Amino acid sequence: MFPIRRNRRFRTNEAMRALVRETSITPNDFIVPIFVVEGQGVKEEIDSMPNYFRYSLDLLENEVKELWSLGLKSVLLFVKVPDNLKDNAGKEALNPNGLMQRAIKTVKNTCPDMLVMTDVALDPYSMYGHDGIVENGKILNDATANFLAEMSVSHAQAGANIVAPSDMMDGRILAIRNALDGQGLIDTGIMSYSAKYASAFYGPFRDALDSAPVDLEHIPKDKKTYQMDFANRIEALKETQMDIDEGADIVMVKPGLCYLDIVREIKNDVDVPVAVYQVSGEYAMLKAAAEKGWLNHDAVMLEQITAIKRAGADIIASYFAKDVIKLINR
């Protein structure tokens, strides 16, 4: 009899396919990025991210309640800092009554069990749009790492469960761990953006926070002296291993779809949870193609998210989180 094995038997109908499906998506897979702004009653759509919004703290409450009702239990907070509070050193980031610190408290007061993660980086606070302190045309490493450690303590004291340094300075995980432990904040976790590439896919995010590097002489115009070269693979493993050795609880690959080879390799290599950030440009691409009627939005969204998990992501930060869960709950 030929053929001996008929693989198509498992594909004959949806119940059969569901029975043997290797990867499934649940609300537990997701981290929801949230953009926060000052003001009252503000819910403004981000131009390059259709159907994604910046919220003022009062409206953040409703959003958080909706996420919780959908089973989404982790948020990752980003703040849009008013221009007059930006400087080179990120001083406002340490303000115990700053927007991030108030946002953390707002989420915790609204939904005490929601896991609150915070972006730890200078760029939203930097007048130059860089993730570090700039001096003589260079991004300072150690001074920035020490600053990020203080920023992490401030977030943790405001109630953050996990701090998420997204800057790519050398040694910052160790600096942050030491600073947290020094304040007795031993239960605050660190999710490290460990293999973060210098990517053109971050454009819409920089629109959302108005945080793009400025176009000034003597100021680097891109982030290539700290974020990784997208041509590199072995370097991603080294960065990730070093972050684990320094105390990272969760490691991350970013962006998502173009980097799934890196995700799989890291997943095979490490014994901590691996997160993947499906970034703003990935979101924008699908929205644009769907708006033109060139792609089926929901089908492509689910395919992409499933591919990220199949590649080895234990955790996915995605602007599609809510849409995906609404889709699979339908």
* Tokens matching residue 45: 């759509």
Q: Which of these segments, 34-42, 142-150, 201-209, 231-239, binds ligand PBG (CB under 6 A)? A: 201-209
Choice between 42 and 212, CB closer to ligand PBG: 212
> How far is the C-alpha of 29 from the C-alpha of 38, rounded, in Å?
30
Distances (CA, A) of 182 to 122, 150, 156, 186, 187: 22, 11, 12, 9, 12
> How far is the C-alpha of 103 from the C-alpha of 33, rounded, in Å?
13
* Tokens matching residue 177: 């761990």
43 is annotated as an active-site residue: no
Q: Which of these segments, 79-87, 115-123, 171-179, 258-266, binds ligand PBG (CB under 6 A)? A: 115-123
E strand or H helix at 152: helix 142-158
Q: Which of 43, 80, 86, 196 is catalytic?
A: 196
Residue type for position 74: S
Choice between 45 and 58, CB closer to ligand PBG: 45
What is the DSSP track for 28-78? GGEEEEEEE-SSSS-EEEETTEEEEEEE-HHHHHHHHHHHHHTT--EEEEE
Q: Which of these segments, 12-20, 178-186, 199-207, 241-249, binds ligand PBG (CB under 6 A)? A: 199-207
Q: Is 197 in the site for ligand PBG (CB under 6 A)?
A: no
Q: Which of these segments, 23-31, 51-59, 198-206, 284-292, binds ligand PBG (CB under 6 A)? A: 198-206
Closest CA to 129 of 72, 74, 186, 207: 207
Closest CA to 39 of 75, 81, 76, 67: 81
73 is annotated as an active-site residue: no
* Least gap, CB of 186 to ligand PBG (angstroms): 25
Q: Is 121 in the site for ligand PBG (CB under 6 A)?
A: yes
Q: Is 239 in the site for ligand PBG (CB under 6 A)?
A: no
Q: Which of residues 274-313 bind ligand PBG (CB under 6 A)?
A: 279-280
E strand or H helix at 318: strand 315-318
Q: Which of residues 9-68 bind ligand PBG (CB under 6 A)?
A: none
Q: Which of 86, 254, 287, 309 is catalytic?
A: 254
* Least gap, CB of 290 to ligand PBG (angstroms): 18
Residues near ligand PBG, by CB under 6 A: 119, 121, 123, 131, 166-167, 202, 205-206, 223, 279-280
Catalytic sites, residue numbers: 196, 254
